[in-house]
Amino acid sequence: MTTTHAAAPPADRAEAQPKRLRSATAAGRRRIWGTVAFHTGAGLLSLLWLVPIAVVLITSTRSFDDIASHGLGSLPHSFTLGGFRAAWVDGGQKQALINSLIVTVPAVLLSLLLASMAAFALSRYDLPLRRAALLVMLGGNLLPPQILLIPVSKLTEQLGLYDTLPALIGVQVGFGIGFYVFVLHGFMRAIPAEIQQAAVIDGAGPWQIYSRIILPLTRPALAALTALSFTWIFNDLLWAITVLRSDSKMPITASLLGLQGQYVSQWNVVAAGSVIAAAPTVLVFLRFQRHFVAGLNLGAVK
């Protein structure tokens, strides 16, 4: 009975092992330093974005005498909510916020409803000229809105809707629906056709397929578009000052301009008005944050 001994590794293989270890160690160090550099840069960039927000929040809770005595960039020596009361009551922010919500909520719901129905028809059925219709909707969003200010203003006057909130709702729906259709079309087109075919075999009609099958599957996209459209419409200023004239009907963004003119030197009141104007969009984004990220990731994969 013979015994066999393991063959000794060749000399070149024995010499290569320390080189591999050194290479792996160097690669690990590079990854560690790269991670440290990335987090350091991201932290500094986040700090750069958060500093102005912190300054506005601190300024809104300072008194006018404190700012006048110590300067706008000094540390706070007082705490008061009088700036919020002045902006909310005397500055007209309360009515302006109500006007913004009256315009934004119906405009968002109506835009997404019409866009989802149009995207469903264009993505799930072989309609004539459907690609041309989609390109026309998308092309409308490429036009600069400044060239359409006078036509839109004249059109609302001829329709008898000038200086009314329904006119602003119609403008927001008309200029946003093309982009929403384009986004929802991509999501709905990626849904397997077998799901719709199975529903048709079970006797479902187009409305049932749309409302019970396709629409729930596009919930991440709808949530993402809800957050985006709410932010765009709520923060819009251009169309508000185009189709509205009365101060009592102006939304929060236009009212903020008037607040700056009314309290030109009272930075605490202006800062408080800015916080009031930004609060609804922040709350909506936090509410739809999880769905918003999921919608973006799903869109990236598709």
Name the nearest CA neighbour of 186 among 240, 235, 120. Answer: 120
Q: How many structural domains does the chain have?
A: 1
Would you state the pLDDT for residue 1? 45
CA distance 268 to 80: 10
Would you state the pLDDT for residue 50? 87
Low-confidence ranges of the chain (pLDDT < 70): 1-24, 26, 291-302
Domain that holds residue 193: 92-301
Note whether residue 243 is domain-resident: yes
Note whether residue 18 is domain-resident: no
Would you state the pLDDT for residue 66? 87
Structure-token match 């809800």, residue found: 226
Write the CB contacts of 220 (distance below 8 Å, at least 6 apart in sequence): 291, 294, 295, 298
Note whether residue 4 is domain-resident: no
Other Cβ atoms within 10 Å of 133 Cβ, number: 15
pLDDT digits (tens, 9 = 90+) for 154-171: 999 999 999 999 999 999
Note whether residue 213 is domain-resident: yes
Would you state the pLDDT for residue 172? 93
Note whether residue 81 is domain-resident: no
Query: Which two tokens mark 241?
Result: 């000052």
CA distance 4 to 121: 76
pLDDT digits (tens, 9 = 90+) for 235-285: 999 999 999 998 889 999 998 888 888 887 788 898 999 999 999 998 888
Note whether residue 69 is domain-resident: no
Would you state the pLDDT for residue 109? 95
Q: Name the 3-class secondary structure at 174.
A: helix
Query: Which two tokens mark 157?
Result: 């006057």
Note whether residue 85 is domain-resident: no
Would you state the pLDDT for residue 170? 93
Q: Name the 3-class secondary structure at 2.
A: coil
Q: Name the 3-class secondary structure at 43.
A: helix
Note whether residue 137 is domain-resident: yes
**CATH number where 179 lies:** 1.10.3720.10
Would you state the pLDDT for residue 76? 86
